[in-house]
Each structure stands twice: as structure tokens, then as C-alpha cells.
Chain A
Amino acid sequence: MEKYGIGQPVRRKEDVRFLTGKGVYIDDISRPNLVHAVILRSPHAHAKILKIDSSEAQTMPGVLAIVTGQDWEREDFAPIPTRSAVKTKISGAPLNQPPRHCLAIERARYVGEPVALIVAESSAQAQDAAESIEVDYEELEPVTDQVKALEPGAPQIWDDIEGNICLDFELGDKQATDKAFAAADHVVSLELRNNRVTAVPIETRGAIAEYDAASDSYLLHNATQNVHANRATFADVLKISPDKLHHVAPDVGGGFGAKNSGYPEPPLLLYAAKKLGRPVKWIADRNESFQGDTHGRDQASKVELALDSEGKFLALRTSTIGNLGAYCFTMGPFTPTAGSARTQGGPYDIPAMFYSAIAAFTNTMPLDPYRGAGRPEASFQIERVVELAARELGIDPVELRARNLMRADTLPRKTPMGLDVDTGDFPQLFERTLKMSDREGYAKRVQESRARGLRRGFAIAPYLECSGGMPKEFAGVTFASDGTITLSVGSQSTGMGHETSLPQILGARLGVDMDKIAYVQGDTDATPLGGGHGGSRGLEMGGSAVMTAANDIIAKARHIAAHMLNSTPDDISFANGAFTDVKTDQNIAMEDVIAASFEQGRLPSDMEPGCLDTGVTYERELITCPNGCHAAEVEVDPETGSINVERYWVVDDFGTIINPLLAEGQVMGGIAQGLGQALMENIVYDEESGQLVTGSLMDYALPRADSMPNMQLAFFEDAPTAKNPLGVKGAGEAGCCGAPPAIVNAVLDALKGDGVTHIEMPLTPEKVWRAIAGGKLSP
């Protein structure tokens, strides 16, 4: 059993399926009688829809249905609600939530907004028809930048929402913070952007909707991260009872947050499936994904750090303007507000903090959580201002950080942002990272780089984030008399390997062979509730639910074991898959107890066959705090501005590591996305026309194999959290928190001789070259 225990690098059970092409993703599913949908999208960022003439399209070969905003309005479907945890402005008034319908009604507010649904026998026919629909637009002036959207006279995106403001927000002690600033020896201030990016899972979104008239119910297969929450959303829109909608996620080809949202396409497909009585499939192409998948980040912030004469941090003040896009998407208003506020200040001991934010509407695709959702922004803010402070105060940035980390003996504590930091050892992780990074050899490497005409830089970036996502999770375990066990969990893997890690937990705890455990996820019929995927919650929530279920099973099995051993439950201990009578030393294996649980004759009189079947809902009290430390060494070519991230080191404290193989995979994937944001990824809208400039992989750059440094990883496992029964803290988003500041600060370190103190992400070669050339160039 040991090889499958907790902490073992168990190879993934799902891999054989994926390696041999037998994974079943949404586009691999077909249905008899299937028809195909395409979405006609707005080519304008901001326009009145005066008239839609689909008369010619209606008559085209294969065309079955065309649905416009007017049709949608006539059906009286509900707008898609936001489920943001932050719902009110500072005043206590509700946030401004404009109606987000599945199709634009009377006005389109971003390029790519759905304007009509076209269903035809084939996708090509639907596309042909879409091209012949004539939409009469009256173009309006757009605004795509959130700072400009707040300026007086900016185009108004919603007639009844003055100033394009969704909500304002604040957290922390303003008075104490202002007081600390007033008394500080040094104040360091930095204005910076967190660039707009998008998740780009290699599988695009798609869905197949079916309707069964006999039962008046729907079946939706959907490339989603979250079947339960989205079932509720889609049911709300269609004004049906959620139990009439069976929502299933097949294998999902990556999500990173972008497949979590309540999108407009699935309700449209469900509607069409009912209307036509045929299954309707829609698969996004990549251009459509750039237009219509949620974007992430996009914050314009001012960060101020107050320090005393010794370089001790006294206070942090951050104000942010977050871009929401044209609507409140599923969690949109949460990210730039509470999502970014909670982990302000990172792992540093900062006595006073104040965070304020405004979330603004613009004529762009709405934003929603993308891997990290606020914590990468917070981490970037603090690490950039600390780096600048070190530069301005003439203190070694490594030393300045070391001086200000929260000490282990001050934990547990609540930060001024209200975050419960329970366990960890930030200084130790910092030291370990430094040690890994071979600081002794650095000077020599700088010389070697210089000999090749390159600048070398180093930066270290400790981070503290928080994770957990939806606060409830369900795990169900059913036993079959042939020895197989089925585990159903409401959390969902879109690549993280839950099919392995969750049975691994159950198998290890029960002492049964995990290969006998079948795993079910992403199905609203399989679990009564589920939080899906988001917020690094797979193990913290899903795993804790499994652990809780396992403990319940053991408690029940203990009664059976006592009965079988003619003992009492109090005298029965359980370890290594066996129950032992502590008095007689007689024991019985869990597997034998499971076998006995199907025979009434071997059970206590108050238990029945099948009694081990268990379903539990685990509810979290406090979110956990993954933390760690990244360090990067980069080379910069001053002639071209190209950056090569050459070496990379990370030490992470994710609490207990269930499967190091999978945990490392999460870290490296997160670093890649963080590196992408830092160096190349950028969603660009043309400011004047509001057109999306980066609409394909020809213009939106993703990291490739040769973009990545060699990454050395280590885990610190000495401080598991007591916030959940597994002691895990969450791993999925940490890489995205640490990588951007480590890489950007390393580049700026390389350029310190050039007097460069700040470059906005992404640090493209041209921006770097311009920064180096400085005054020698025209603006």
C-alpha cells in the first residue's frame, strides 16, 4: 500500500487515456441527428443595433434556426447574474449590475459580443448563413481603458450607470495607514499596470445541448470547470428548475479560470435544442476564444510603501482601477476588489495597510478570474514597490526583504487585511531559495554574460497568497460487492489530476488499493453539490471532502469490525488498512470489513448491507495561505531588448504534499503562465476603434518550450495547516503569483546600470530596448 500512500509520486491514472488519444473532450462527442451552431458576433466595440435582417439567411441551405436579441427578449429570458462575493459599494448600496443577456439587445458593447445564434445542418452552412445576415449598426464612440472610462466626458457604456462605475471598495485601516505615512522617513511610490491577459486553454470552449420532450429536461455537455454553479446560472436564465438540467463536463482541455464563468452560449444552445428537438453543438474557434473567453488581470494601480530610516516597512497603501469589461461577468467585480485586497503586503510584516479600488466598465470583453484572480496582482504590487524601495534607499533588495518578512514565531496572526496566516516559515523559505540559487557563483555568471555582451540580473520574490474557492464540497463513496469503489467529487480536474490524487487520498486513508477506486467528477447527477474548479481548491476542498468521507467510512467500519471481532468500537484501532482490537491484538483488514458490509449476517443488527456508502459535504471555515519564494536569473540583450530567463528556483509551502509529481506540475505550469504575462502575453484593444488587435495566436504570444528556464523546485512541508483535515494549502495558482515579480525585478536588476527603474508588463524586447536607450530616443 505504501507506494500509493499520501506523499508518493503516483503516476496518473488518467494518462493512458490521454496518451493514446482516447480522452473524450467536448468536440469528440457526437450525437445522432446533431446540428451545428455558430455565433454571429459584434464587429464593433460600441454600436446601436438598429436592425437585423436575416431573411436571406433563413432561406439558405441547411439553415434551421436564427435567433437574435429581439427573439431572446421576446422569450423573456433572464439576464445572466453575477455571483461576485463582493456585492456592495462602500456606501452599502448594491453594485451596479447591468443586464447581461445571452445576446446583445439593441446595443453591442464589445467586439465579439454575441448578436445572433445560427443553427444549421453543418457548421459550414451555419457560417455561410451568419455571413449573409445583415446587421445595421450605428457606431458609437468606445472606451477600452478603465482609467479613461472614469474621465469626465468618457463615452457612457450604460445609460443608467453614471461614470462607468460598477462599484468602489476599500479594506484596511485608512487612518492608521495615513498616519504611518505621515510619520515615515521614506515613502516610495509606484504607478503600475497589471496587463490584460487571457487563459488560452489549448482546447477552446464548446458545448452540446439536448432536450428531451418527454421529461421536459435538458442535457448539456460543456467544456466547463464548474457544472453545478453553471447549472444554476443557466437554469436562472432559462427560468427552469435546476433539476431539469443535467450538466456534464467531459474531459476538459485546460481551464485556468476561463472555463469557470457563466457564458452566454450554453443557454442559447439549450434554447435551440428545445426549439429544434435536435442536439445542437457549438465549438469556438480560436479567434472567437480571444474575443469571447473572459480576460484576466487588467488593473491600473498606485502602490505606496512607507518605511522607517532602517528600511522597516511601516505601511502600505494601494489604490486600483480595475477593468471589468462591458458587464459584470460571473465573478468580475470580486477580482479587483476583495480578490486583490486580501493578500496585500504579501508575506511582509506591515503594521498598517489600506486598499481601495474602483471597478470600471469599458467596451471590452468582460474580465473574470484567471489563475490567481487578484493575488498575482497583489503580489506584483508589493514586490515591485519593495524592489523600487531598495533601489531608492540604497539597500540590497535581498536584505530589505529579509528584514521585513513576518517571522515564524509571530504566527498565527491576522494581517491588517484580515487574512488569517496560521502556519509557515517565510524567512526559512527565503533562505532556502537563496541557497538554491547559488549566490556565490553569481558574480562569475555576471562576468560571463557581460563577456557575451549581455546584462544579467537576479531577483527574489517571496509570495503569500490564499486559496480555497467555493466554500463547500461534496464527496460520495459507494462500494460494490465485487470490491470496486466509486468516488464522486464535486470539485473538478481540468488537467490537475484529481482522478489520481483524490483516489490516492481515499485509498491511503482506507488502506485499499487505489486502482480499485473509480472516479467520477463534473456531473450534476453524480454529486448533489460541487464547487468545481477554481481558487486552487482541488485538494483543499475536494481532498478534504474525500478525507472527511473516508473518516466517516472508517467510523462505520469500526462498528462492523468490532462486531466481527466480538469487541466494542472503543477498543478498535485503525491503522494501515486494518482494524485491531487493542485488547486481544486480533485484527481484520478494511477490505474484509468492506466485503462483510454486504452481508446482513456479518453486520451488527443496527446496520444494513450497503451501509458503508457515504456522502459528505465538507465546509471550510478559513481559507488557506499557500506561500513560497521564487527567484530568477535573467539575461538581457541590450541591443535587441530580448530577455532570456536563464535560471529559476522555487521553494513552496503548500502544507502537506499529496503527490509531489502533480504538485510540481502545478508550480511549473503556473510559472509558465506567470512568465508569459511578464514577458509576452498581452490582450490589446485599439483605443480608437475598440477593435481587438490580438485576436489570434499569430499576435497573442504564448510561452513555448524554448521560452522556459530550467526550474528547480522544492517543497517545505514542515508547516501543514490545521484549517483542513489534510493539512494542504493549495498549489494551483502559486506559480502565477511568484513568477511575474521575480522575472520583472530580475530584468530591472539587470538594467540598474542603465538607470531603468520600471517597465510595464509585458516586458517585450522593444520596451526593454527603449528603456535602455532612454533619452537617446524620441518618445
Chain B
Amino acid sequence: MYEFQYHRPNSLEDAAKLFDAAGDPQYLAGGQTLIPVMKQRLAMPSDLIDIGRIGDLHGITADKNALTIGAMTTHAQVASCDKVRESIPALASLANHIGDPAVRNRGTLGGSIANNDPAADYPAALVALGASVQTTSREIAAEAFFTGLFETALEEGEMIVKVTFPVTDCAGYEKFPNPASRYATVGVFVARTKERVRVAVTGAGLSVFRAGDIEAALETDFSPDALDGISISADGLNSDLHASAEYRANLIIVLARRAAAKANAA
């Protein structure tokens, strides 16, 4: 690992000041992706600003319309929080299947979505649930937040504060894990709100995306059977050692059907 300066501010203001003052800074959340990357010398920030202890970034609140989760909330906290399990159980279940228990004890919601790994789980939940991302300067709708491969709408120095998830009628997430890394080879999040059905796919493209054909079919009939006969084009889907684009296209339909079944059972 390369050398860097470490800072641990206690407030958002201090964090911003530190960020502005540093040469090539990076925020450090749970570090579950960043630290391995730095260990392999694939990243060399001049300064790491550890935002793990900023009180404003923690906590989960819920009312009958929405669930709000602080950016530094760990996956384990989301998975085990009664408020999450009651209002959006699919989200708690998703969090409970990220990485492994030790990773879930350190990894955070904010860290995960800021990194926007194409195979991360959370982006699918945010997009399907129509969440909004509150940053230090603005509110960004999930779909506008995830802009590309490891890219987000975050500006230099802008930090995620919390994410608000509108409470849905029902939702389900189904993931086909990479056998080695346990990231999503494909993950499909199906959610039905009062207005409409949204289906978001992770792992299959450069970034999370919505599956329009599947949404349309489920809009008509919110049941797994509604997806019979629907196919997804493999064009533009990821193809790698573990899964070809064609196989991923198949998985999207299979997992969407299973996620819909879960949503119906919820």
C-alpha cells in the first residue's frame, strides 16, 4: 500500500474542509472495497478522510411513507434493523446477503453506492425502490445518481448523507452470486409501489439499469407467470469469466420471476 494521510473528522464541515485542503483525497467509509484496492496498489489517494464517526451519517428512521438510512449505516445494521425489516423486508434481506458477516459489519450503504460497483447489490434496491440520495449539497434521484461504470453523479468532495426509500407495497430481491467473490453475477430487484412496478438489474451491465419489458409485463400482471415468454437481449450485457452476456440475459428473467414470487409472498 502507498502512504497517505489519515483524518478522522467528527463533523461534515470538518470533513469538507479536510477534503478541500488535500491534494488527492478520498472519503473512507467502511473501506471494504477501498482497502483491498489500496492494498493491491490500485489506488493511491494522498489523504483518506474517515467519515465513519460523523454522527450525522448514522441512524435509521422510518415513518409510514419512507425509510431513511444514514450513509454510514452498515449492511449488518440494515439487515438486523426492525424498522427496515418491517417496512421494506426485501431491503433487509438484500443487506443480509452482501459479502459475508465480517464485511457486513464494516461495509456501509453510502460506501457501496458511492463506489457503484457494477456487481454491487444496493444500486438495484435504490433504483427499483425509487430512492433518493441526500448529499451534502442536494438530493439526487437514484436513477440519476448511478451514471456509469464505477461512476455516480457525486461531484468532487460531495458526500452522501443519507438515502430515503419510499415504502413500497411489496418488493423482492434475488441474486445469483459469483461463486468466488459473492458479488452479484446478476441481481434483480422487483418493487411495486402505488404508482407502478420497477425492476432494477445489477451485475449485468456497466451499471444498474431498469428492465422495461419486465416492468411492463409485471405492470399488467404482478405475478411470476407474467414473465413467461419474455426474453432479454444479451446485447450490451457484461460478459466475463463467470458468465456470458447470453447467460446473464437468461438469469435476469429467471431471477426477476423469483424476485416477483418473493414480492408476492411478502
Q: Which residues on A are within 8 Å of B, measured CB to CB? A: 124, 127, 131, 287, 639-640, 642, 680, 684, 693-694, 697-702, 764-766, 769-770, 777-778
Contact = CB atoms under 8 A, between A and B. Distances in A.
B12 interface: no
Interface in B221-266: 241-244, 246-247, 250-251, 254
A769 B247 contact: yes
Interface string B88-108: 000000000000000000000
Given A693-B241, A766-B243, A769-B247, A640 B180 contact: no
A639 B181 CA distance: 22
A287 B242 CA distance: 18
B179 A127 contact: no
Contacts of B181: 697-699
A640 B251 contact: yes
A640 B246 contact: no
A701 B244 contact: no
A778 B179 contact: no
A305 B197 CA distance: 57
B241 A124 contact: no
Contact of A766 (B1, B41, B247): B247
Most interface-central of A680, A693, A697, A769 (chain B CB within 10 A): A769
Nearest to B181: A698
Most interface-central of A131, A642, A764 (chain B CB within 10 A): A764
Given A697-B180, A699-B181, A639 B244 contact: no
Nearest to A642: B176
A640 B254 contact: yes
- Chain B interface secondary structure, helix, strand, loop or mixed? loop
Nearest to B100: A704
A640 B185 CA distance: 12
A657 to B, nearest CB: 34
22 contacts: A124-B1, A127-B41, A640-B176, A640-B251, A640-B254, A680-B179, A684-B241, A697-B180, A697-B181, A698-B178, A700-B180, A701-B178, A701-B179, A764-B179, A764-B242, A765-B176, A766-B247, A769-B247, A769-B250, A770-B247, A777-B246, A778-B246
B220 interface: no
A287 B40 contact: yes
A563 B242 CA distance: 74
Interface of B: 1, 40-41, 176, 178-181, 241-244, 246-247, 250-251, 254
Contact of A639 (B1, B241, B254): B254
Contacts of B241: 684, 693-694, 699
B214 to A, nearest CB: 15
Nearest to B176: A640
Contacts of B40: 287
B265 to A, nearest CB: 15
B59 to A, nearest CB: 32
Nearest to A698: B181
Contacts of B243: 766
Nearest to B234: A778
Most interface-central of B40, B180, B244, B250 (chain A CB within 10 A): B180
Nearest to A777: B246
B254 A701 contact: no
B180 A701 contact: yes
Most interface-central of A131, A765, A777, A778 (chain B CB within 10 A): A765
Contacts of B246: 777-778
A700 B242 CA distance: 10
A737 B246 CA distance: 34
B254 A699 contact: no
B104 to A, nearest CB: 16
Contacts of B180: 680, 697-702
A216 to B, nearest CB: 38
A765 B180 CA distance: 13
A766 B254 contact: no
Contacts of B247: 765-766, 769-770
A697 B180 CA distance: 6
Nearest to A684: B241
Nearest to A127: B41
Nearest to A707: B179
Given A640-B250, A701-B178, 19 more contacts: A124-B1, A287-B40, A639-B254, A640-B176, A640-B251, A684-B241, A694-B241, A697-B180, A697-B181, A698-B180, A699-B242, A701-B179, A701-B180, A764-B179, A764-B242, A766-B244, A766-B247, A769-B247, A769-B250
Contacts of A693: 241
Nearest to B1: A124
B178 to A, nearest CB: 8
B36 to A, nearest CB: 9
Contacts of A127: 41
A702 B182 CA distance: 11
Contacts of A131: 41
A697 B254 CA distance: 27
A340 B153 CA distance: 58
Contacts of A764: 179, 242
B102 to A, nearest CB: 14
A177 B55 CA distance: 79
A126 to B, nearest CB: 13
A698 B40 CA distance: 13
A375 to B, nearest CB: 26
A764 B178 CA distance: 11
A766 B181 CA distance: 16
A289 to B, nearest CB: 14
A340 B102 CA distance: 42
A694 B242 CA distance: 10
A677 to B, nearest CB: 13
A747 to B, nearest CB: 15
Contacts of A640: 176, 250-251, 254
A290 B63 CA distance: 50
